[in-house]
Structure 1
C-alpha cells in the first residue's frame, strides 16, 4: 500500500480523495452556517459557495465561520498548490526524465524489457546502481518505471545508435541487452560498439553483456570475454545454461544408489540440463553409466541433435527416449510413459517445460504413478510466487500439497547481477565451487562452504576466485589458455604426466601461499579454530597420499572446465 501511494497514480488517488473531503466539509459548513444564521439558502447557492471556496474565490458570507469552513479555507490553498505541482510534474515529466538521463554517467543501461530485462533492471537497482531502461514498446517502459521509481525509462529502438546515444551509453558503466531475440541482441551490441567512447583515464571501457537464448551459441561466443579491446568489452550470457547449473546445485540428482534420472521437456533449459547432468555424472563415476529417460514431443530428434553437438553424453547414459506430446498426449503415449514409470521408477525427475500449468499437470501425474517417496521431483516455474506456491504448502501451513515436489524458480535464480556481470572469472569460480559440492558425499548440503554458490558470502567466494586465477596462471606456464568449449566429448588437449605433475605442484604452492597469507601455520594435526594444517609444507615434503590427491585433482581439471563450458587449447607447442 505504501509503495502504491508513492507512485504517481497513488498520489493522484490521494489528492482526489482529499478534494472530496474538502467539498463535503464545504457543503456541510455552509448548510450549518445557514441554519445558525436563520437565512434560508438553496442547494444551488450552497454548491456555488462551496465551488468558490474550492477555487479560492470565496470572500466570506453572512454568519459565523464554523469549524468546517475554517478547515476548508486553510486546507484549500494547500490542495490547490499540490494539484498544480502534480499537474506540472505530469506535463513536464518527459522533459525532466530526458534531462536526468542526458546527465547520467556511470550508470547501467538495460535494453529490452520483457520479464528478463525488467527483473535484471530491478536487480541492478537493488545493488545500488543507477538504471536507465530502454525499449521500443512504450507500455513496457511505462510499466517498468511505474512499478519501480528508481528506474528511468526511454522509449526507443536500442538497435539505433541514436537511441543509445540518448541514454548516454558512451558514459555508462555497463549495457545489459536482455531482449528475447538473439539476432536483435547482437545488433544492439553492434550499435553500442559504434557509440561507446574509447576508454580514458578514470573511465574504463563499457561492459556490454548480451543475452543469447541459445546456450551453445553463447558458449561459442564467449571467446570475446577473453579479449577486450576498444571502447567496449563484450560478453554473452545464457540464462538456460546458468539455470541448469543452479538447478543441479540446489537439487542434487545423484545419490550413487541405482540412480535413474528423468528430464521432462527438451527445450533450451532441458537440453542444457541433460549436458550438465552428463558432465556431473562423468565426474562422479568415470567408469559407470547412468539411466536417463527423456520425455518430449520430439525427444528422439532432440536427443540425436544433442549427441551430435556433445558426443560424450551418449557415453555416460543408458538412454530411453519417449516421444509424447505433453500438451496433447495420445493414449498410446500416456500408456508408454505409465508403463515405464511402473517398470523402473526414476529416482530424480526434472520437469522443465516452459508452460507452467503443463508443468503442474505433469507433477500431479507423477504423484499418481510413482510410489510415495520414490523420486525427488523438481518443477521449473517462472518464480517462487504465482503458480509455484501451489506446490509449497496447504492452507499456508507447513504441510506440503505434494510431498517430494520442489519448485525451481527460473527467473529468480537467473535474473541476478552475477548472471550477467561476472564474466569468465566469476563463472569459473562458481563452477569450481559446484565441482567441490558435487564431490561431497552428502550431495553438497550443510554449513560452512558446503552451501550453494548463491548462499556464500563474498569472502567465501574469493576462495574459488583465487583458485581460478591459479588455474589461468598454471595453464599459461604450460603454454595453454582457455577457450569456449566447442563439443563435449571431442578429444581435448592431452597433457603429459610431467605437465599434470607441474599443475599439481603449482596448485599446491598457490594453496600454501593462500593459507599462510590468511594466518594458517603448520602443525602435526589439523585444527580449523587454531588455523593449523599438517599439509602446509613444501611439495617435496608432502605425504604420498596428499601428493596423489593433488595429482588426481590436476588430472580432473579439464573435465571440470568442460562442465563450466571451457576447454584447454595450446598456444605454444608442447616440447617433446
Structure 2
C-alpha cells in the first residue's frame, strides 16, 4: 500500500519516545508531521522529501551517507528545491558525517539535543531573571543534581555568565560530588578561570548556601567580595517524580531561611513513558511563585528551537559580519577555518557564533534596554561609556568561550596547542585589541536590525508602598490610564517597565491596568523578603491568586535584602516614581507622578 504524505509534511524517523515527542511537538503547533521507520524511508522518492528529521538514530553516519547518495546521485547536484535534513544527536560534537556539496540541494544540519535544550532553557529563563546587574548584583547559579541536562546547562551558563558585576558563582550539589567535580574539571580544566565553581554533596546544600552569604575572598583578590545569594536554581535529579519533588521543596525552604531569597527554580521533570499524555495541571493559587517545571526534551522538540533555529539567525549574521571583515582586509574567508560558509563551518566555530548571539540578551540587560520590533524604533546609539562597559563584558565572554574550549594564555598564539596571547584582562589589552571588542558591541543595533529588531532603552517606573488612606477601585484605575497615556506620549523612545513588590492590592490594580492596556509594558517584581513569606501574609485566596498571576508575568524577580535595600533600589534605579496617595514615601525619586484618588487626582512635578 503506497505511503501518502503532502509535499509540506515533515518526516520524522527514529526509534523510541524521542521521535514520538518530535511529532507531538510539531503537531501541537500546527505543523504537518509524520512518523516513519527506517525501512519506509528507504522506499520513499527523495525528490518528495522537503524536511526530514532523524531523531537520534543508530548508526547515524551510515544513514546520512545513504540519504545524501540518493538525493545527489553520483555526486552530481541537481537543481531543485532545497531538501533539509536535521540529525538530532545527544550532544556535540556530532558523529562523523559526509559533507554535502554547498551548491547542491541537500542541506544537512546537526542538532545536539542536550546542548540546544540548555541554550533554549537559558534563553527563556536567562541568568539575569533573578538579579539586577544595574544594581551591582552578580549571578549565582545553583544546580542540584547532575542528571541530564545539568552538565550542558552548567557549560552553557559559564559561556553566558559575564555581566560585568564582579566574579560570578556556580554551585553544584549532587550525589558523588567529588567524582562529578573531578570529571567536569578534567573535561573543562579552564572553567575556574570563568567563575567560582563549587561542588558539594547534596546533603551539604545548607553549608554551601551559608558560605555564599558570607564575605568571601577569591584567590585573585586581596579584598573580600560581597555575599552572593542564589539568583537562579536548576534541579536535575534522576528520580524527579520521587525524591525530586521533596528535594525542590526543601531547596526552597533552605534558600529562604539561609539567604532570605526566593530565586526562580527550574525543575527538570523528565518525561513519562506515555509522552502523548504528559500535560501540566494545577491552579495558579497552588503555585509557590518559584518552581517552574521544565522538560529539556520537550524544550528541544519545540518547533521554534528544532526547526526555526531560534538563535541561529543572529549567529549566522554574526558569522556573515566576520566573513565580511576578513574580505575587507584583502583575505579570502573561504581559505580560513573560521571563515568558511555556515554550511561548511566546523561545529566549534558555529558554537562560538551561537554563544556570542545568546549573550546579546545579557548585554541588553546590562544596558537597561530591550529588543523590540524594528518599526517601534527610530534610532539607537550606545554612549561611549556604554560601549566601554560592554566591551569589557564582551572580552570576558570571549575569554570564557575560549577557556571552555581548552585554550590558555601564552605570549604567542598556537592553534594546535590552543595558546592565545589575548587571554588577559581587558585593561591589559592593546588599544587595537580593545577596538575589536568595541567594534563588536557597537554593531549590536545593526546586528538586531538584520533580524527585524530595534533597541529601546527602559523607562523604569518605581511604585513605592501606597499611602494608608489611598483608595483603590475605578478612580485609581482611571488615573493610572491617564498617567500611562502621558508617559507613553512623553517617552516614545523608551520601553516602560513598572517595578513593584505587588504586595499591596492597589499596586497590583495599577500594574494590571497598565500591562493589560498597553502592549509591551514590562514588570520587575521586587522581593525584599522570600516569596513564601509574602504568600503566607495573604490569607485571602483572591489576593494570593491576584499576586501570583501578576508574578508569573514578571520579566525579572529581583531579590533584595529587606525594606532598607528596597528603598535604596527604588531611589537609585527608578527613572520616575509613581506615588499612590497623598504622601511622598521613602525611595521616591526627583521625577514623580502622584495618583491621589481621594484628593488631588493626577499630580506631576515635572514637564510631560
Normalising by structure 1, report the TM-score.
Answer: 0.50
Q: Which fold has the larger relative contact order, with Cα–Cα distance below 8 Å and residues 6 or more apart in sequence?
A: 2
Q: Which structure shows the bigger proportion of residues in helix conformation? A: 1
Larger Rg: 1
What is the TM-score of this pair, normalised by structure 2? 0.47
